[in-house]
Amino acid sequence: MTTATTSRHRPLDPAPDVAARARGLSKTYGKGESAVHALRGIDLEVRAGRFTAIMGPSGSGKSTLMHCLAGLDGVTSGEVTVAGRDLSGLDDTELTLFRREHIGFVFQAFNLLPMLTAGQNIVLPLELSGRSLDRERYDKVVDVLGIADRLGHLPGELSGGQQQRVAIARALVADPAIVFADEPTGNLDSEASAEVLGHLRRSVREHQMTVVMVTHELDAAAYADDVVVIRDGAVAAHLVEPTQDELVAALRSKVA
């Protein structure tokens, strides 16, 4: 429990340094007796230019938290601010427009549209928002991710690791304020996982991106700067640059 206390007492820089913030965030599915309280009053600040991992066991609410932070789902109560914008008052269309301007996504599977080529998948968010493509940035991202020779292929013709790298490229090309990655290595072998995570970390280091990754793998979390541990819909710990031991301790603390 000590680690959790430490994080709460650590003074956090306010506004410019914060990419996303949740205040008293609650999310309830259903009504009455069958109501499920997925999130119960989450307070959280995700710092800009850092790689944050959200960890927790199955059913802890980590995916729901990500959906709420990313504007994919409405909240029951509390407020969510992303890139300085309060998301709570936005309707579906405003949320959608906000997402395509400011947020990038990498999912576990079904990341790419099967009928579009890798290249078409990468530029799709830009096309949808009608923004013009920064050719230089596109070439650089594609080059760094090592998929330059795969752009003309359909997703079905790519390996799992290649598909995830295409998804990362798509997230980076639009230059979003924050990238959310939901179990990005869940379907990959260890070698491909290491590659994908390495790319995510590099995008934080070299492009000053903000990445939030939901994962339940310790190995994946080890790539992150900050680790938020969620349990039963609440923040159990918020660790800054934890060591492997601190992380394991935080994850085990409930069991103890």
Partner 1 sequence: MRTVLFASLRHHTRRYVASALAVIIGVAFIVATDGLAGALRDGMTADVGKPYAGASYVVETQDLEQVQALVEAGAREGFGVQPIAENWTSLRVEGRTVDNITLGTVALDPDLRWQELVAGQHPTGPGEVVVDERTAARAALDVGDEVVIPFAEKEGAFRVVGISDATVGAGADVYLLWSDIAADQSVWVRGVLWNGTFSAADELTDGAVIWTAEEHVRDLQKQITQGVDVISLMVMLFGAIALGVAILVITNTFAILFAQRTRDFALLRCVGVTQRQLRRSVRIEAMVLAIVAAGVGVLVGMGAAWAFGSVLARRFDAMGQVSFSPAWVIGAAVVGILVTVVAAWLPTRAVTRVSPLAALRPDAGVGISTPAGRFRILLATLMIAGGVAALVAAMANKEATTAILLMLAGGALSFVGVLLLGPLLIPALLRGAGRLISRKGPAGAVARLATGNSVRNPRRTATTAASLMVGVTLTTAVLTGLHVMWAGLSEEMDTSYSLDMAVAVIGAEPLPDDIARRAAELDGVDDAVLVTGGRHELLTGTESVLLGVPDTSILRGSEDVLRGADLVVPHELINVLGEQDLERYYADGTVTVRGVDGPLVVKVRSTDAYGGTVVLDPAVLEKLVSAPEPRALWLRAQDGADAGDLETALNTLLGRSDLVWSGDYEERTWVETQMNVMTGAVVGLLGVAIVIALIGIGNTLGLSVIERGRENALLRAMGLTKPQLRRTLAVEGLLVAMVATLLGIAIGLGFAWVGIEVLVAEMIDTSFAVPVRQLAVVLVVAGVSGVLASVLPSRRAARVSPAEGLALQ
Pairing of strands 178-182, 18-29: unpaired
Rounded to a whole number of angstroms, the minimum distance from the CB of residue 129 to partner 1 is 6
What ranges make up the beta strands (E) of 30-121? 36-47, 51-55, 77-82, 85-86, 103-106
CA distance 167 to 111: 6
Residue 76 lies near partner 1 (rule: CB under 8 A): no
Annotate each residue in 157-196 with x if it binds partner 1 (CB under 8 A) or - if it does not, as one string. -------------x-----------x----x---------
| CB neighbour class for 227 (10 Å; exposed up to 12, middle 13-18, buried from 19) | buried
Residue 114 lies near partner 1 (rule: CB under 8 A): yes
Q: Which of 1, 12, 115, 248 binds partner 1 (CB under 8 A)?
A: 115
Stretch that binds partner 1, among 65-73, 80-88, 234-242, 244-252 (CB under 8 A): 65-73
Question: Which structure tokens are listed for 171?
Answer: 């997230």
In contact, 1 and 24? CB cutoff 8 Å: no
CA distance 182 to 224: 14
Residue 151 lies near partner 1 (rule: CB under 8 A): no
Stretch that binds partner 1, among 48-56, 80-88, 122-130, 192-200 (CB under 8 A): 122-130
Q: Kindly list the residues in this chain that would bind partner 1 in the complex (CB under 8 A).
A: 64, 67, 70, 72-74, 92-93, 96-97, 99-101, 105, 107, 109-111, 113-116, 120, 124-125, 127-130, 154, 156, 170, 182, 187
